[in-house]
Amino acid sequence: MSTVKWLEKPAVHDFPAAADYLSMLADSVTVKKVTKRLKAGTVEHRKAKDILRAAQLSLLPVDNPHVAADLAKIQQGRPLSPILLVRGDFTANIPLQIADGYHRVCASYHTDENTDIPIILAAVSRQHQRRELLFDGDAAAPAPKPM
């Protein structure tokens, strides 16, 4: 079984890919802040099995075209790009988000579920989330009538 090799830092194109995915989950201001945090973040390491569990995602099969492509890279000894993550919150039932790299996590898992995967983990403050929810709710609700 091959050992997974990793780049020291994410590829430049990973950040726009992460922002594109996150734009389906949050407003543009939040996405810009999270993307900025990801770019400024430091690489840590987590296990493939733990990333999938925290994200509440299923393991994609080896015949998934993107997973198969990453497995081929692993077999050829080519390094993969680190994973970009956004912290979840188990107290609010919010899973970890794999902003970029889901297929790479799955390929790594198929190689060895205990592989240490380099990740950058960004957090969105709960205060910011509440403010955005209030703003979005206020925009949809009619303005209160003066007394």
Query: Whole-angstrom Cα distance, residue 70 to residue 84?
Result: 16
Strands (E), 42-124: 44-47, 83-86, 97-100, 116-122
Q: Which fold has domain 14-130?
A: 3.90.1530
pLDDT computed for residue 132 by the predictor:
47
pLDDT digits (tens), the chain, 147 positions: 679 999 999 999 999 999 999 999 999 999 999 999 999 999 999 999 999 999 999 999 999 999 999 999 999 999 999 999 999 999 999 999 999 999 999 999 999 999 899 999 999 876 544 444 444 444 444 444 444
Parse the chain into domains and list their residue ranges: 14-130
pTM for the predicted model, two decimal places: 0.84
